[in-house]
Structure 1
Amino acid sequence: MKTIIPFSHQLLDEVVNQGDSVVDATCGNGNDTLLLSKLVGDTGKIYAFDIQAQAIEQTKTLLAEKQIKNVELIHDGHEHVSAYVKEKTIAGAIFNLGYLPKGDHSIITTPDTTIEAIRSMLALLKKRGRIVIVIYHGHKGGTSEKNHVVNFCEELNQKDYQVLQYQFINQINNPPFIIAIEKYK
């Protein structure tokens, strides 16, 4: 079985193609941004968001080292995605909820902004496109966000979306899990 991060990447690899536009809703250290860049190629576009300047700088450094030029780094909250994405559709998006690894653990994603971002991205998502949400919830505020996001996703109309939850149930310390949303129509 694939662990959480490799499986989240597989879910996007299956639907994102060269030339597509995609969103990294929480660019953090830049690893997902780098993966998305490879998937969309030189003709594609990545919109990479983070509210922390440290995350934007770390991602910028990684992209410069790899000579990646198809990314727009956005120092703003992912809930403002519709103000930045100029394309009519996106093929996919990824979230890593929680806090920036090796960063300030008091700065976390929140249920309201995350759900607003998911709503906005669902409106942009092409048919068979996917939003992958990696939920880290073993921190203060994490359980609340987890519950809100899961509840929101459970309410998505099954005629329009299929929603997957992927998690390991025998691990300690609140292991992360995935919620993946695929658009039917």
Structure 2
Amino acid sequence: MNRREALSKVALIVGGTVIGGEAFAAGLHLNQNAHPSSLFTPEDEKILHEIGGIILPAINGKPGANDANIGPFMAMMVSDCYREDQQKVFTAGLHRIKIDFKTAYGKNFLEGDTKSQLEYLKKLDAEQRANTLETKPGRREYLTVDGPPVHFFTMMRQLTILGFCTSEIGATKALRYVEAPGRYDGNVPYQKGQGAWAT
């Protein structure tokens, strides 16, 4: 499966266009001068890793986003594939998480317990959902890459799903995977509870 196919499959999962996807699909770097270390510190990557693990946790023996080392992936995607205005929204949002969480809970995000981290991220999720509905009437229209930057938590959710589903562990351990090339079977029996196909 090539990048364009992978991106189209993940777009179906997240319900719209993935931010920065045009660069990912083409294998290009939109911001040639950006480097992960210039936008994100190692602590930032750890926070993104923790956030990704909360968004997509390991459940019932299936791996989660943390198993795919999601923090460095998010940092790379934002640095290499996002436009400058989208990078600013994302990095400002990450800074806001650090400040707001410490104000609300008296600890850094990484020092917080799972309950407080989840509680805080649920508030961000509600905020980004309300922002989506108020700003644009249609989710697909709202997620177009040519429009204004979307809410930073929407970006974090998309990158978590994209990074996990296109990782080796996500594709082979959480999704069903058959190495290509293989034979075509248009009538595969479905059993309740089976995961979606990675390819």
TM-score, normalised on structure 1?
0.28
- Higher-helix-fraction structure: 2
Structure with the bigger RCO (C-alpha within 8 Å, sep 6+) is 2
- Higher-strand-fraction structure: 1
TM-score, normalised on structure 2?
0.26
Which structure: larger Rg? 2
